[in-house]
A and B are shown apart, each in its own frame.
Chain A
Amino acid sequence: MALTRKNLILLFFALIFIISSRESEAKVYIDLSAPAVKKLPVIVRGFKYTGKTPTDPRQGQVIENIKSELMNSVVSDLKFSNLFAIVEDSRAAQIPDVELQAIELLGCRQAGADLIIKGTYSIDDKTLVSEITMLDCVNEQAVMEKRYYGSAAFPRRLIHYFSDQLYEELTGKKGIFSTRLLFVSDRGGNKEIYVSDYDGRGARQITRNKAINLSPQWSPDGKKMLYISYKSGVPALYMFDLTTGRDAVISDKQGLNIAGRFSPDGTRVALTLSAEKSPELYALELASRALTRLTDNHGIDVSPTWSPDGARISYTSDAAGNPHIYVLDVETKEAKRLTYNGKYNSSPAWSPDGGLIAFSRSDGSGRFNIWTIRPDGTNETQITFEGNNKNPSWSPDGRFIVFSSTRDKVTALYVMRLDGTGLTRIASVVGNETMPAWSPFLK
């Protein structure tokens, strides 16, 4: 156990490393509020298997598959974040993975990169153990080095978890890589509700009733889902517990029981009913089942979205003839019209910071585009220009919008940043995918 010369040298470096790192305590690598974020050049090295050598060739295949899943998801998360430029320089591939980090870091700088991300992994029964390191090649320090234990069946979840931490380390803001999407897909022949990772991968079917299922919505804690289903023969509003599988009828009155949305505190559901009057908005208190009518006109009032403080609701109404976006005060029920342009304005979605409402607008052709507007009715901004785009939903950090878009015949889900850049069609299998709902941050 005697100290070798090499270890003494490393020890010396470690000490400098610790001291210098104290000076850069508040370092934020990426300032998201800066007008043009400079991308950090990063080298992503593969994942090295450090477990037992497999005796069974099938096990060997599993190990290889996990390796590529880990690598692919790191790369796709980094790309999605738009904060990194992945250096795929041939010199990067030549950098030796040696214990003496100084050499590795020098090689990194020579390849033009600021950071190296690398990892090891092993599999212990059904547990995937992965240690992921991020090295700052310029300041010569480990920025992150953590070991993660996850399910070997879902290597991507482990990486998404890592990506969230990485993102937070670098920007000081929460990452959205472990968030999920709920959406409607007809890939099985009828419209059922599915859940997937934020990037559309790992999609799994939730409803299995072979009827029409629509409008999935997350509860604020991410544990429940409101949805419309025709499974009893008529359309009713249900609440499904995503972790226990318990399913409950929320409203099954004569006529409409649609457009259910949890209030931000989760105690109420805004919804559209038509049993008593024309389709009006109501607030249903979940504990007492007390119903309060929020709108009163002869038109259709539908698709509510709560302001983050729960004081206001934006919705679609045709009270003025065509569908337009309105905002009402939940307490006073006073409504204000927000949009005057376009022939058909629908599906408003209030941004997480409260500053914007995204919605879809058509000029009457039946083709929609995504727009945003401030809740005071100012600053209307068009953000999509191609295809037929509907049902915007915000990422919980407010940096992205997911929406459905019909381009090339099928309807698929797309994600973009608020200025319309970074448009990405997210993974889909077959069929049409509609009505996406981005989850809150999940615990």
Chain B
Amino acid sequence: MKNIAFKFLFVSFALTVAAAGCSTANKAFKGGDLTLIGKEAGVDQDAGGVQHDGEMVPDDNIVAEDASRNTSGVSSKTNAEPGPLTQGGGLAKKAADSGSLYAVYFDYDQYTIKDEDFERLATNAKWLKSNAGIRIVVEGHADERGETEYNLALGDRRARSVKRFLEDFGVHDERIATITFGEEKPADLSHNEDAWSRNRRAEFMLLN
């Protein structure tokens, strides 16, 4: 209790002195701070739970995504095409696995179709024309030696190069969707030239 008595006196003195002259605001090490200090300490001992005398540390109020809730779209309609084909979603299957359409490969940071892939793409186009009911997705991929967003754009350009090529060979535009995965889905997880050359690719997925 002696302590409290002292602190109250301390407060009164501090207040008096502060009121007498010091009216500067909010800079380090001033009389103003001391009055606050004294006041806080004074209330401390007996008033338990008078929270306004200290400072409230803001709560951590960041919440997590509720994956079960639908995203509320703000755009008028979903333009995205196609739908459920990523992450192993059942509708699409890799065309190369069924022996129909084969992947093509690109040079580092390039999206032009290499001469050696012309024939392969022409064969793909022929197959598509003789299987008119089939729609495909061209997946564009990049190797890991770049920046994530740039690689997404690069994958987009690669997929579109292939789509344009197939269209030039007479495959109808609406049968070909494109998607980029950038560097996110490497075919080969190693970190060497061989792996990178296998990862800079466009692959074909069959829909329906």
Binding site for B on A (CB under 8 A): 1, 3-4, 7, 10-11, 14-15, 17-19, 21-22, 24-29, 99, 124, 129, 131, 141-151, 154, 157-158, 161, 168-170, 172, 178, 180, 191, 195, 202, 204-212, 214-215, 228, 230-236, 238, 240, 242-256, 258-259, 272, 274-275, 278-279, 289, 300, 302-303, 316, 318, 322-323, 344, 346-347, 360, 362, 365-366, 368, 390-391, 434-435, 442-443
Chain B residues near A168: list those with CB within 8 A. Answer: 28
List 28 A-B pairs, Cβ < 8 Å. Answer: A11-B6, A14-B10, A14-B13, A18-B31, A22-B17, A124-B48, A144-B33, A145-B40, A145-B41, A151-B57, A170-B28, A191-B184, A208-B64, A208-B66, A234-B81, A234-B83, A245-B64, A245-B65, A248-B73, A254-B79, A258-B149, A258-B153, A275-B79, A279-B156, A289-B75, A318-B150, A368-B147, A435-B148
Can you list, as one digit per residue, whether each of B102-132 has a CB less than 8 Å from chain A (1) or not (0)? 0000000100000000000000000000000
- Which are the 5 A-B pairs with shortest beta-carbon distances? A366-B145, A147-B54, A150-B57, A346-B147, A279-B153
**Known A-B contacts A4-B2, A235-B180, A323-B109; A272 and B61 likewise in contact (beta carbons under 8 Å):** no
Interface pair B153/A272, CB less than 8 Å apart = yes
- Provide the residues of chain B in CB contact with A231, threshold 8 Å: 71
The reply to whether A21 and B1 form a contact with Cβ atoms under 8 Å apart is no
Judged by a CB distance under 8 angstroms, whether B172 is at the interface is no
Min CB–CB distance A287 → chain B (angstroms): 11
Q: Do A366 and B146 touch (CB < 8 A)?
A: yes
**Could you say which residues of chain B place their CB within 8 Å of the CB of A228?**
152
Known: A233-B83, A272-B149. 11 other contacts (CB 8 A): A10-B10, A21-B31, A21-B34, A161-B57, A207-B64, A214-B152, A232-B83, A235-B179, A275-B79, A323-B146, A323-B147
Q: Report B157-179 CB contacts with A as 1/0, cut-off 8 Å.
A: 10010000000000000000011
A434 touches B89 (CB 8 A): no
Judge whether B53 and A233 touch: CB under 8 Å: no
B128 nearest CB across to chain A (Å): 20
Complex Cα–Cα for A281 and B84 (A) = 27
Q: Please classify how large the interface on chain B is, using the bins under 10, 10 to 19, 20 to 34, 35 or more.
A: 35 or more
List, in ascending order, chain A residues with CB within 8 A of B9's CB: 3, 7, 11
Please, how many angstroms separate the alpha-carbon atoms of A178 and B178 in the complex?
43
Across chains A and B, the number of contacting residue pairs, with CB separation under 8 Å, is 279
Contact status B61-A243, CB under 8 Å: yes
Q: Which residue of B lies closest to A278 (CB)?
A: B157
**Known pairs A206-B65, A246-B72; A25 contacts B37 (CB<8 A):** no
Given the interface pairs A15-B13, A346-B150, the reply to whether A230 lies near B86 with Cβ below 8 Å is yes
Query: Would you give the shortest CB distance from A303 to chain B, in whole angstroms?
Result: 5
Q: Is the CB of B179 within 8 A of A243?
A: no
Query: Per-position contact with A for B35-78: 1 when CB-CB < 8 Å, else 0?
Result: 01100110010001101011111111111111101011111001
Are the C-beta atoms of A303 and B74 separated by less than 8 Å?
no
B65 to chain A: which residues have CB within 8 Å? 206-209, 240, 245, 247
| Cα(A269)–Cα(B122), bound, Å | 41
Residue of B nearest to A17 (CB): B34
Contacting residues, chain A, for B75 (C-beta < 8 A): 249-252, 289
Complex contact B44–A22 (CB within 8 A): no
Q: Which residues of A contact B57 (CB under 8 A)?
A: 148-151, 157-158, 161
Chain B residue nearest in CB terms to A141: B29
Q: Which residues of B contact A235 (CB under 8 A)?
A: 152, 179-180
A28, closest chain B residue (CB): B28
Distance of A249 Cα from B75 Cα, bound (Å): 7
Cβ-defined contact, B44 with A147, below 8 A: yes
**Hey, which chain B residues are within 8 Å of A208, CB to CB?**
64-67
Question: Which residues of the partner chain A approach B10 to less than 8 Å between Cβ atoms?
Answer: 10-11, 14
Best-buried of B22, B55, B146, B150 by chain A (most CB within 10 Å): B150
How far, in angstroms, from A230 to B148 measured CA to CA in the complex?
A: 14
* Residue from B22, B86, B178 with most neighbouring chain A CB atoms (10 Å): B86
Which residue, of A212, A302, A442, has the highest number of chain B Cβ atoms within 10 A?
Answer: A302
Contact between chains at B147 and A316 (CB < 8 Å): yes
Residues from chain B with Cβ under 8 Å of A131 in the complex: 40-41, 44, 54
Q: Which residue of B lies closest to A365 (CB)?
A: B145
CA distance A246 to B64 in the complex (A): 10
Tell me, yes or no, whether B99 is within 8 Å of chain A by CB: no
Query: Once the chains bind, are A142 and B37 in contact (CB under 8 Å)?
Result: yes
Complexed CA–CA distance, A345 and B153 (Å): 15
Which residues of chain A are near B83, meaning CB under 8 Å?
232-234
A347 to B2, CA, bound (A): 63
Q: Say yes or no: B147 contacts A390, CB within 8 Å.
A: yes
The CA-CA distance from A211 to B86 in the complex, in Å, is 8
Residue of B36, B57, B64, B179 most packed against chain A (CB within 10 A): B57
B62 to chain A, nearest CB (A): 5
Q: Which residues of A contact B66 (CB under 8 A)?
A: 208, 245
Partner of B73, one of A249, A362, A368, A443: A249
Among residues of A, the one whose C-beta sits closest to the C-beta of B37 is A145
Which residues of A are found within 8 Å of B17, using beta-carbon distances?
Answer: 15, 18-19, 22
Contact (A233, B152) CB under 8 Å given A242-B62, A252-B79, A322-B109: no
Contact of A279 among B2, B73, B157 (CB under 8 A): B157
